[in-house]
Amino acid sequence: MDPFELGRLPFRGVLLGAAAAALAAPQALAPSVHRLLARSLDLQRHQRQDPRGRENCTSAQECGFSHSSYLLVFSVLCCLGIALCLVTSVTVEWTGLRVAKELHSNLLKTIILAPMRLFETTPLGSLLNRFSTDTNTIDQHIPATLECLSRSTLLCLSALGVISFVTPVFLIALVPLAFACYFFQKYFRVASRDLQQLEDSTQLPLLAHFSETVEGLTTIRAFRYEARFRHKLLEFTDANNIASLFLTAANRWLEVRMEYIGACIVLIAAVASITNSIYNHLSTGLVGLGLTYALMVSNYLNWMVRNLADMEVQMGSVRRISALLKTEPESYEGLMSASQVPDGWPQQGEIQIQNLSVRYDSTLKPVLKNVNAHINPGQKVGICGRTGSGKSSFSLAFFRMVDTFEGRIIIDGIDIAQLPLQMLRSRFSIILQDPILFSGTIRFNLDPESRASDCMLWEALEIAQLKSVVKTLPGGLDAIVTEGGENFSQGQRQLFCLARAFVRKTSILIMDEATASIDMATESILQKVVMTAFADRTVVTIAHRVHTILKADLVIVMKRGIILEHDKPEVLLEQEDSVFASFVKADK
């Protein structure tokens, strides 16, 4: 195990020192208490036999023996032990909780500020695991394992110390046993770590298959594939059980070996102490003490190695979270400070796109190549093109969601690359291709910052053709929206997203296939209403159904990341061989 990750956490030096001292103290007391008992017994025996030769005395007073001083020290040591146990538990839990809290809040901060690329390249399940399983391990298991590991190590060392004190010759025999123990634990830790990982990795497909089966139950029943799915579930369960069976077997393997070492320790301690007591008159109390400790060593050794292996596996959670913490956040700062940006920017909504090249990652090919365009204030622009031609990527470039590695976008005289990110994103509205609603109320979904009045919310709903739907819902604006907006149809969700954009009334609105799931009649009403409500604002509409952009002021046709055609729709329609004209023909 690498002491590293905990070692890198800010406050650990003192905390871990305190925790270690608190852990060591109760264990260090145990041998002292037991030695005291052994001495007390010896003295008692000695006094019974010796002074004045009164062998048959029955009470301490008769023998002239006094327990009082021993009892006092014994009681003080016991009380100290109890108090220190409490200090140990509290310190370890407190240290663990502080570390877990710090890691969790840093992780949350990193994920919230992480670039979109992280979410595209990291499976959601793995991110959820960092927040659930790994955080749970750091929260609950690592402090307990650390406590057990330190306790079993210290108990083991103190037991060996006591045996060596009683019979120093035992130290010589300890060397080969320590070597044997070292090799056993080394062997076991590798196997245990791999088996634990195998158990974890075989559990994920099992859970995924189960949830997939439950979600797709209707389809499975329709195709009568129940048996196939049941069989697959049993296969995954078997794979997972095999890993846990082997893990249990590995634990038994270790236990047997540690029992062997323990038995050797008992044998050596017994032979050495009995020989010592015969030839060097070692007291019986100390012989008993040595043997008692020798009997316990195998148990301590076993727990020590198992805890070490557990700790190693659990530190994997810290390692995985630390790796995620290294994610570079999006660059939220801009060359311009917030105070340098005019208050109502962008007021006109004039957009100049100069030589714009965009990619999703520095390792990927550009998805927009040297795009140039000029959109006048208040113009209604329609963008069309085949699937994958770069329309959505174009809209994302306005929000700096993609890597603009060449060229620039200038809005009302300001290069957007220089603006603080938060400010840039708060000044435009975009309606994404996938409508997203959050669980809560309609009011929360339309106006998460609670800035708009009810009147403004109803007005936005009216523009989005949703007023009548919301009026019939119980609670009106406070009607419940379930997770992902599943209590509304796909088209209604798109309309809610439109209404959300209308509430903000920014001077630039970008709609990425915002009406794709809406029926033709509603769509055409919507187009007209949007054109009226946003008459003086710049609206960029990305559309598959080209008839929705026939009335636009400017049409941009895209193909494989470049602008193929760029003019008024009437002009493009007049050119018989234009791509736009062919799209319009195909759409009829």
Residues found near ligand ATP in the complex (CB under 6 A): 120, 360, 364, 367, 385, 387-393, 433
Of 320, 409, 394, the closest CA to residue 564 belongs to: 394
Quick check: bond before 346 cis, omega within 30? yes
Strands across the sheet containing 508-512: 429-431, 508-512, 538-542, 380-385, 554-559, 562-567
Q: Shortest distance, CB of residue 552 to ligand ATP, whole angstroms? A: 17
Which bin fits 67, alpha (ψ -120 to 50), beta or left (φ > 0)?
alpha
CB of 392 to Mg ion, least distance (A): 3
Q: Tell the smallest beta-carbon distance from residue 512 to Mg ion (Å).
A: 6
Closest CA to 273 of 38, 32, 570: 38
Strand, helix or coil at 542? strand
Nearer to ligand ATP among residue 390 and residue 420 (C-beta): 390
Q: Taking CB under 5 A as the rule, does residue 27 contact Mg ion? A: no
Residue 373 and residue 72: Cα distance in Å, rounded?
A: 92
C-beta of 433: minimal distance to Mg ion in Å? 5
Query: Based on CB atoms, which residue is closest to ligand ATP, 208 or 364?
Result: 364
**Closest-CB residue for ligand ATP?**
392
Binds 120, which of ligand ATP, Mg ion, none (CB < 5 to 8 A, cut-off by type)? ligand ATP
Question: φ, ψ for residue 385 (rounded to 5)?
Answer: 160, 165
Identify residues 430-469 at the interface with Mg ion (CB under 5 A).
433
Q: How far apart are the first and last CA of the chain?
A: 68
User: Which one of ligand ATP, Mg ion, none interacts with residue 367, CB within 5 to 8 A by kind?
Assistant: ligand ATP
346 binds, among ligand ATP, Mg ion, none (CB under 5 to 8 A by kind): none
Q: Is residue 180 within a helix (H) or strand (E), and if so which, with residue range?
A: helix 170-215
Instruction: Give min distance, CB of 556 to ligand ATP, in A.
Output: 12
Task: Using DSSP, state whether 406 is helix, strand or coil.
Answer: strand
Residue 436: contacted member of ligand ATP, Mg ion, none (CB under 5 to 8 Å, by partner type): none
Tell me whether residue 302 or residue 392 sits nearer to Mg ion (CB atom): 392
Find which of Mg ion, ligand ATP, none residue 51 binds, CB within 5 to 8 Å per kind. none
Q: What are phi and psi of 36, to 5 degrees?
A: -60, -45
Residue pair 247/196 in contact (Cβ under 8 Å)? The answer is yes
What, of ligand ATP, Mg ion, none, does residue 566 touch, CB below 5 to 8 Å by kind? none
Q: In the chain, how many H helices and how many E strands?
A: 21, 12
Nearest distance in Å: CB 387, Mg ion: 8
* Residues in region 380-419 near Mg ion by CB under 5 A: 392
Measured from the CB atom, the residue of 392 and 492 that comes closer to Mg ion is 392
Shortest spacing between CB 558 and ligand ATP, in angstroms: 7
Nearer CB in complex with ligand ATP: 127/469: 127
Instruction: Report the residue number, 185 or 393, with the smaller CB distance to ligand ATP.
Output: 393
Strand partners, 383: 542, 556
Pick from ligand ATP, Mg ion, none: which does 192 bind, CB < 5 to 8 A by kind?
A: none
Q: Are 518 and 490 in contact (CB under 8 A)?
A: no
| 116-120: long-range contacts, CB 8 A cutoff, minimum separation 24 | 116/401, 117/360, 117/361, 118/327, 120/360
Q: Closer to Mg ion by CB, 352 or 433: give it.
A: 433
**Shortest CB 184 distance to ligand ATP, Å:** 50
Task: Write down the least CB distance from residue 502 to ligand ATP, Å.
Answer: 23
Q: Out of ligand ATP, Mg ion, none, which partner does residue 393 contact, by CB within 5 to 8 A per kind?
A: ligand ATP
Q: Using CB atoms, what's the residue nearest to Mg ion?
A: 392
- CB atoms < 10 A from the CB of 241, how many? 13
Residue 537 binding partner per list Mg ion, ligand ATP, none, with a CB distance cut-off of 5 to 8 Å that depends on partner kind:
none
With CA atoms as reference, report the closest residue to 351 among 409, 430, 406: 409
CB of 100 to Mg ion, least distance (A): 41
The 8-class DSSP code of residue 330 comes to P
- Both tokens of 242, joined, read 């095999």
Is the CB of 27 or the CB of 392 nearer to Mg ion?
A: 392
Show the tokens assigned to 378: 């208040």
Determine the Cα–Cα distance for residues 270 and 264; give it in Å rounded to an integer: 10
Size of the site for Mg ion (CB under 5 A): 2
Question: What tokens appear for 581 in the block?
Answer: 């004209």
The token pair that represents 467 in the structure block: 């007023």
Nearer to Mg ion, 154 or 396 (CB): 396
Q: Considering beta carbons, is residue 56 or 387 the nearer one to ligand ATP? A: 387
CB of 432 to ligand ATP, least distance (A): 10
Closer of 48 and 391 to ligand ATP (Cβ): 391
For tokens 């390792």, what's the residue? 363
Using CB under 5 A as the criterion, which residues of the chain lie in contact with Mg ion when the complex forms? 392, 433
